[in-house]
Amino acid sequence: MSAELIDGKSFAAGLRARVAEHVPAFQKVTGRVPGLAVVLVGEDPASAVYVRSKGKATREAGMESFEHRPAANVSQAELLALVDTLNADPAVDGILVQLPLPNHLDAQEVLLRIDPDKDVDGFHPVNAGRLVTGLPGFVPCTPLGCLMLLEDRLGDLSGLDAVVVGRSNIVGKPMAALLTAKSCTVTIAHSRTRNLPHYLRHADIVVAAVGIDHFVQGDWLKPGATVIDVGINRVDGKLTGDVDFDSAASVAGAITPVPGGVGPMTIACLLRNTLVAAHRREGVPLDERAI
């Protein structure tokens, strides 16, 4: 392997520590700590594990964690009423509804009901529009974490060629918007892109978020490229990424492992977004670039 490993776990720990450092000053001014509300409908095992880890990280950062666990048969009206309650709660700065929801619920309607200024997941169309137009808003946590890792590795991204493989609203599209805002030349590709290796061989940055294990091959890459693997696929009981790691690591200049790369950044950026939301809601100054 010639590529440098990008240690997302270590970077995320530093980000969580920086978030925690800002909490006491906020509390001194406002008399409270930032609060994150997480809604988990039903008992999906994977979601339950994720929610527990979010709650633990929130409390470790000195912030308040509010967990709401409606039954799996909760009605659409009841769930919307819960979101309305959280929107109105002054102690809640961020609201996260854990997906997927049970099939009888309309997830889009629920996400649209969240106050955009408490939408720390960055999924609301208002925040998507703010991102594309360059206005202050909230960026989805995974692409925000990817950008932080890229800037930590490469510094100024201006002028670099970037290919984002994947076009989801959660990762692919916001990732492309973030890289465009950093003056990269961005191509959005996907599983149906014709001659995908042609595009990747010219890319200084590759972000793989297509949801297919070992999809991106090492011989598709430009030598020395920086590769961010967002994929989390479970194959034969093991977690694998969207990039064929072994072949890619022999070509790339730097690459994120799976696990231990992008994954830890997602929760760390959720805490960051919650801290930012609290400061904005209370009108307390915060140098957001410092975190």
Give the residues across from 2 on adjacent strands. none
* DSSP codes joined into one string, 90-152: TT--EEEEPSPPPTTS-HHHHHHHS-GGG-TT--SHHHHHHHHHT-S----HHHHHHHHHHHH
Active-site position among 93, 98, 173, 213: 98
Active site residue 84: no
Supply 146's token pair.
């990817």
Active site residue 217: no
* Nearest of 107, 102, 124 to residue 41 by alpha carbon: 102
Give the residues across from 234 on adjacent strands. 239
Question: Is residue 15 within 8 Å of residue 148, measured between CB atoms?
Answer: yes
Amino acid type, 249:
A
Active-site position among 93, 115, 117, 121: 121
DSSP at 215: -
Active site residue 222: no
DSSP at 94: E
User: What are the residue numbers of the active site?
Assistant: 54, 98, 121
